[in-house]
Structure 1
Amino acid sequence: MEQGLGSATSIVAARDSKVAWRAELQLLVACARPTASPETAERIRALAQEPMEWPYVLALAGEHGVRPLLYRSLHCICPDIVPEAVLKDLLDFVRSDVAHNLSQNVELLRLLEGLKARGIAAIPFKGGVLASWAYADPALRESGDIDIVVRKRDLREAVAFLATHGYRRRTTEPHDAIEDTNDEQLGRYLRFDSTDGLASVDLQTSLEAPHFAFALDSDELWDRAVSRTFAGQTVLSFCAEDLLILLCVHGTKDVWFKLKWICDIAEFIGSDRGFNWDQVLYRATHLRAKRKLLLGCLLAHDLLGADAPERILAHVRQEPTVRAAAETIIKKYSLPNRRFTDAERAALYFRTDDPLGRTSRILRYGRRSLKVIVVPSDNDRRCLSLPNWLSPAYYLVRPIRLMAKFGRSPRLAVQAVRDLFERLD
């Protein structure tokens, strides 16, 4: 298919005349596939001949994480039109990125081997493993951090392993404004940097963002995990159907800010992978991620012309909230400042929440809020020392302390509630 934005096959983009993209962005999106149809190649040549702010094209490609794809398309389709300096800048980046990818892959295998030796099951997520699976040429996926998923029960041991193997945890981790740091807060997305500054590792048991949480710790995901060969070694991976769902969840978590993540979906569903689409839909529904799956497939279909199956598109047509979310993201791409505000991000999450997931989120918020307000913390006990026989009185001390702390500062109270919700799961 491969027609993309504004084509007759588009579900959202073709009917929205308000989407007026700069030529630079149109060129970038047209180039964001490893191969181009004759029609797309003709469009790329036509766009490249328009007055083009090439430094902006390069900056935009870096922001979206698609510089290798941009170079491939421009070099193969219109090298006679693109300024030589632009192609050289892109080629220099691609060469350095290939070297970085190789070093990241070596480091990933070292870490996986070390975790395995300690009895810790670990699954690499995205990165080089995804590039080797989804892309015919893995070098076309721009490198990033090393992402490793572990079970929650193994997280503390995995953190200890990284600490003794050349990594330190970033010191800018968010903290709870009300509750003290405790063991439960370790079960979050943790970031580590190598002491030599050459690698960063994201260690996680869930996909999290403010007002968003999706557990990766469920038995069903791990029971369906498969072994794959990567760089000559055997590694554990989520099965194809589950990985597609998780990639769509990840993209939605980060409001599809990078075109790179949509490219991942387009490449993953575009190759002949033997997807059981009935199983994909069933599992996405069971995981309460159906709308997130549909959103990812819709964006890949509308923006990049990916061959999404008709049964997926039929479900999209029945989900106005998914189409509305896609429209929001497509419009954001056209804006100079396309970052989502907290309110816009929360609205997108609400639209892509499955009904059961939305109910669960509200109940979770209610339970956690009640716990924070009622259950005494260590700070309450440090504030007022009571004998053991008077310990039930701390349930009275807790609300009084909160009123004294936040009652005179609404702004501080709002920030505290926001910090609390960011930690929910």
Structure 2
Amino acid sequence: MAAQPQDWDRNWQYLQDHRLWGLAELALNPGWGPALLGPHWPRLQQKARSQRLSLLRLGAMQQHLQRRFDAAGLTLSVLKGPGLSQRLYGDMTLRHSKDLDLLVPPAQLWQACELLQAEGFTLLDAPPLHEANRRLVQRHYWHLTLRHAQQSVMVELHWRIEPLHAQHRETQWQLPFARDRIAAGELLYLLTHGARHHWFRLKWLGDIQAISEAVPGIWQEAQELARRQGLLGVLEQTALLLNWLWPVQTHDRAELQQLVNSASPEARYLAGEAQAFLLAHDYPEMTNCLSLRYRYRLHAYQGCLQRRYGWPARLRHLVDRGCFSREDMEKWRLPTSLLWAYPLLRLPLLIVRWGRARHDLDSVRHG
């Protein structure tokens, strides 16, 4: 029985919000697509074609950069993207990706950055890379964004797995990630990425479900690394979500069921928040509306995720991000002898920017 027009619109919006064009076209095919999407079926096909072209471009750039990094003797892990799609679904164009996420060891960060610039990439959101600012950026941030204008390819160059820094945890990640298979380290990275974003896109949980089916035993393998990293709560959160979405079809059932049964109150809270956003379909990144209530929810959720770092590390992270802004570093370009002045300039600069924003807003209102 064909869906009603209101269902067509809802189904199409759902695929849009969760970025499921390629996988949906493959799963629905012409037999089911018109019935479930009505007039939106040709739009899905067009979106899937555009996605394929974009992913082919990304995939070609990824392979080129892997060869260049290998030739330069640099360690490179490619996170998510067309490489994950190829290993997981046998087709690099099925899984939506908007950029390439590259991970390098901190000691090789600036060599990697210079290699990318030599390949035609331009830094978008970082200060001039003189030695003093390099140290500040590497300490206070976790990735740089670069863009290749001719190829229209964006790259996020990471030197840490997570925004909040803890040296003793970072050294435990297994670098580089394997290129021909999905191992525990990469699974755990995908879990931290999804958890950090409240799992508000179903494509991320779909990837984890596909990994569960494709790599038997990976949950047990990941548990030891998760314990060392303090990430058992995220592991349990994901198991709860998979059990909620696919209670019958989930593979590795015994391992996942064990995680579900032993889930801590913290993990159940994290899973409940993710479920609420998925059911209400109102995550701020989808609605472009961030109310005070949502700000509190997001802050409480992130605080729960970051609890494993302890208060000293979390407080240092908050102070560092508040005192050292990329925008300030790019504007002032202070020499090494004056780096201590960045925090002192922060408050006056914020006041000036607030005043300019109010002036611009008044100008717009009064024509």
Report the TM range for the smaller structure's normalisation: 0.7 to 0.9
Question: Which residue number in structure 2 is paired with residue 270 of structure 1?
Answer: 213
Q: Which of 250, 254, 258 does residue 310 from structure 1 map onto? A: 254
**Secondary structure of the residue that 1:191 maps to in structure 2?**
strand
Q: Matched residue of 1:190: which SS?
A: strand
For the structure 1 residues 280 and 87, does the alpha-carbon distance in structure 2 shift closer, same or farther, using more than 3 Å as the test? Answer: same
Aligned to 1:279: 221
Letter in 1 for 2:49: R
**Aligned pair partner of 2:230 in 276, 288, 292:** 288
User: Counterpart of 2:35 in 1: which secondary structure?
Assistant: coil
Contact 1:301 1:307 (C-alpha < 8 Å) held by counterparts: no
1:95 to 49, 66, 73: 49
TM-score normalised over the length of structure 1: 0.65
**1:9-66 deviations in whole A, cap 9, x for unaligned?**
xxxxxxxxxxxxxxxxxxxxxxxxxxxxxxxxxxxx6xx5245353443333122111
Are 2:189 and 1:246 aligned? Answer: yes
Give the structure 1 partner of residue 273 of structure 2: 328
1:29 aligned partner: none
Per the TM alignment, residue 206 of structure 1 is displaced from its structure 2 partner at its CA by 2.0
- Structure-2 change in CA distance of 1:202 and 1:164 (3 Å): same
1:156 shift after superposition = 0.9
Equivalence for 1:108: 62
Structure number, greater radius of gyration? 1
**Aligned partner letter, 2:273:** T
1:116 positional shift: 1.9
1:221 corresponds to which of 162, 173, 183: 173
Shift of 1:370: 8.0
**Any idea what SS the aligned residue of 1:334 has?**
helix
In terms of mean alpha carbon deviation, does 55-64 or 75-84 score higher? 75-84
Which of 113, 136, 145 is equivalent to 1:184?
A: 136
> 97-106 or 242-251, which moves further after superposition?
97-106
Task: Quote the Cα distance in structure 2 between the aligned partners of 1:403 and 1:204.
Answer: 26
Which one of the candidate residues 114, 131, 155 is aligned to 1:201? 155
8 Å CA contact 2:241, 2:271 repeated in 1: yes
The C-alpha deviation readout for 1:57-98, integer Å capped at 9, x for no partner, is: 333312211112222333265246245532211112212222
* TM-score normalised by L of structure 2: 0.74
Distance 2:66 2:192 in 1: 24
Q: 1:119 Cα deviation (Å)?
A: 1.7
Say whether the 8 Å CA contact 2:55–2:97 is kept in structure 1: yes
Task: Find the residue that maps to 1:313 and give its secondary structure.
Answer: helix
Match of 2:119 among 136, 161, 165: 165
Contact 1:205 1:215 in 2 (8 A): no
Q: Indicate how the Cα distance of structure 1 residues 302 and 216 shifts in structure 2: closer, same or farther if over 3 A, else same.
A: farther
CA apart distance, 1:264:
0.8
Q: Which residue of 1 aligns with 2:364?
A: none
Q: Which has the higher helix share?
A: 2
| Residues 206 and 215, structure 1, Cα contact 8 Å, conserved in 2 | no
Number of equivalences:
327
> Equivalent of 2:89, from 132, 135, 152?
135
Q: Which amino acid aligns with 1:286?
A: R
- The residue type equivalent to 2:187 in the other structure is L
Match of 1:255 in 2: 198
Q: 8 Å contact 1:122–1:149 — kept in the other structure?
A: yes
Q: Distance in 2 between matches of 1:139 and 1:165?
A: 24
Cross-structure match for 1:344: 297
* Pair 1:198–1:310, CA change in 2 (3 A): same
**d(CA) in 1 for partners of 2:342 and 2:146?**
35
1:363 partner letter: P
Q: Is the 8 A contact 1:155 1:205 kept in 2?
A: yes
Which of 72, 88, 103 matches 1:118? 72
Residues 100, 264 of structure 1: CA spacing in aligned structure 2 closer, same or farther, 3 A cutoff? same
Residue 155 of structure 1 deviates from its aligned partner by 0.8
Which amino acid is the alignment partner of residue 258 of structure 2? A
Mapped to 1, the partners of 2:71 and 2:18 lie a distance apart of 37
Q: CA deviation at 1:308?
A: 4.9
User: Secondary structure of the equivalent of 1:141?
Assistant: coil
Cα distance in 2, alignment partners of residues 372 and 191 from structure 1: 17
The alpha-carbon deviation at position 243 of structure 1 amounts to 1.2
Shift of 1:194: 0.7
Structure 2 residue runs without a partner (length 5+): 285-289, 324-328, 355-367
Counterpart of 1:66 (choices 20, 30, 37) is 20
SS for the counterpart of 2:235 is helix
Report deviation, 1:127: 1.0
Distance 1:82 1:276 in 2: 35
Deviation by residue 1:222-250 (Cα, 9 ceiling, x = unmatched): 3574352xxxxxxxx7x511111110001
Deviation, 1:124, is: 0.8
Pairwise CA RMSD of aligned residues? Answer: 3.9
